[in-house]
Structure 1
Amino acid sequence: MIVSLQKFKQKYGLLDEACRQWCAVAVSDKSRMDGVGFGEFYEKLSLEKYKEYRQHPDRFDVTEQGSTTVLPLTVEELRELEELVANTLCGYTDKSVEDVLLGLEIKFAAIKGETVSEGMS
């Protein structure tokens, strides 16, 4: 099961990773010593890693064990999902695929009481 961006950040330890990278560069770039810009750096790193995770989930050990959530879909959402899967299996993807996935992820996160950051694609 693919986890939300919020869960991914927690399970993969992205705050720690961002701090390590920020501090490693701060040794040679003293302008980073005041921490200005770290928030943007952290969000950018998080989105890059999450995108990589979404493309290759098997490379990351962030799966949730023992929990199942049913995602109720409308008929329209089900048809969109079926089309998305068929297109993906045929190797066809475009911006609409990302939009459908984001919409479903937002709905899924709302059911679980989480939030999804925009612009994760």
Structure 2
Amino acid sequence: VFGMDTSRLPAHLGVPGERLRVRELPQAGLHAAMALRRLYLHPVRWTSLGLSLLEAMFLGMPVVALDTTEAREAVPPGAGTVSNRPDVLRAAVRRLLADPEHARETGAAARAAVRDRYGVRRFLTDWDQFMKEVVR
């Protein structure tokens, strides 16, 4: 688990420290460390659209996310699993960990989806269209 002040997480969850590794990384090292992981788990309920979710998808990581706020729209079928059912989330994590090829394919779909919807090309196209409408 990467994040600020995560050192207390194993004790809070009742998980032995050797089973749950936590690290606070500077931004420069975070993406490289994330890219070495098999999947991105997004258990966030209260943010409208987590930037970390999009960053993980841009890195080509398959996503397993709670079905809250914008996650359903950001993670299309084939790019990961979005659900509020613990059994579905658990099965998705287990499959991605057990099947590297499936994880690669799902991660590639996540990257393609995020580039199409949130990438610079899409932004510039939308911006140009907006400016054309404004100056009419």
**TM-score (norm. length: structure 2):** 0.25
**TM-score (norm. length: structure 1):** 0.27
Larger strand share, 1 or 2: 2
